[in-house]
Amino acid sequence: MTSPAVPLTAGPLQLADGRRVWFRPIRPDDTRRLREFHRRLSMHTQRLRFFTPMRELSQSMAEGFCNVDFQRRVAIVVTYPGETTIRGVGRYEMDDGGRSAEVAFVLQDDLQGLGIGPALLSLLAMHARVAGAEQFTAVVLPENSAMLGVFQNCEFPATVTHSDGTTYVRLDISAPQEPRPLVAFGAK
Ligand SMILES: CC(C)(COP(=O)(O)OP(=O)(O)OC[C@H]1O[C@@H](n2cnc3c(N)ncnc32)[C@H](O)[C@@H]1OP(=O)(O)O)[C@@H](O)C(=O)NCCC(=O)NCCS
């Protein structure tokens, strides 16, 4: 029997530069917005996320990304408060055993380096742990120092391995952690 989806509410995140962004669960009607978001990304960012400078996110791929069950597949989008335009996405997908989930993140270019990635990671990990996961995994290009830095500096023990020109990260998310002070998620 499938247990019900773990609830995920929307909320703000205060950035280090004083601006605010808004996190909310992804929705099926985000498909067009997600494709537009992808088109606005630099080729460099597209390549870091998908390992190839993919100019377009196909309709079927975008639909797949936007239709999640919030239990085994979860995605959070980043917007500016009061707006619908997507500025970033963090997601995870559990494996069949439900103990391990693969995570991936992408932010629009001018919102990178402001602490959104760490906040998304923290929030997704709290959610995944409640849903029964014990570890996060990620496949990262070796030159992606921003992503590797987020994993290595986060509150979870990280194991990093390299094989065939690809970097593999494993995070132990099983131990409960204090929420990061930067995150004000769930507040109104
Ligand atoms: C990887 C990513 C999600 C990290 O999230 P983030 O909010 O940028 O993370 P942070 O703000 O903690 O920045 C991480 C580090 O990279 C640096 N950095 C990130 N983006 C940068 C940029 N565009 N220019 C310069 N430095 C940058 C930050 O200064 C920070 O370094 P520090 O730890 O020494 O302070 C985000 O940068 C991103 O979307 N990158 C492109 C897509 C991608 O790589 N996805 C990962 C696929 S698995």
For 144-175, the pLDDT digits (tens) are 999 999 999 999 999 999 999 999 999 999 98
Domain at 11-133, CATH from 3.30.1330.10, 3.40.50.620, 3.40.630.30, 3.20.20.80: 3.40.630.30
- Lowest-confidence range among 16-20, 126-130, 184-188? 184-188
Question: Which atom of ligand 1 is the closest one to the Cα of 147?
Answer: 1
Q: Quick one: average pLDDT of 169-183?
A: 74
Using most ligand atoms within 8 A of CB, pick from 37, 65, 109, 112 the residue to mutate for ligand 1.
Answer: 112
For ligand 1, residues with CB inside 6 Å are: 45, 48-49, 104-107, 112-118, 138, 140, 144, 146-147, 149-150, 153
In this prediction, residue 187 carries a pLDDT of 36
Considering the entire predicted model, what is its pTM? 0.91
The answer to whether 16 touches 66, Cβ cutoff 8 Å, is no
Query: What pLDDT does 180 receive?
Result: 56
What's the pLDDT score for residue 5? 67
Domains in the chain: boundaries: 11-133
Query: CB of 169 within 8 A of CB of 141?
Result: no
pLDDT score of 81 more than 90: yes
Q: What is the pLDDT of residue 188?
A: 36
pLDDT in tens, 131-148: 999 999 999 999 999 999
Nearest-angstrom CA–CA distance, 92 and 168: 15
Helices within 15-76 (DSSP H only): 31-40, 43-50, 59-66
Quote the crossing angle between the two packed helices 145-153 and 116-130, to the nearest 10°. 50
The pLDDT tens digits for 18-74 are: 899 999 999 999 999 999 999 999 999 999 999 998 999 999 999 999 999 999 999
Query: Token digits for 137?
Result: 């995994």
Q: What is the pLDDT of residue 7?
A: 74
What pLDDT shows up at residue 33?
98
| Rounded mean pLDDT, 115-123 | 95
3-class DSSP assignment, residue 166? strand
Cα distance from N-terminal residue to C-terminal residue, the chain: 34
Asked if residue 132 lies in contact with residue 177, where contact means CB atoms within 8 angstroms, the answer is no
pLDDT at residue 181 in the model: 47
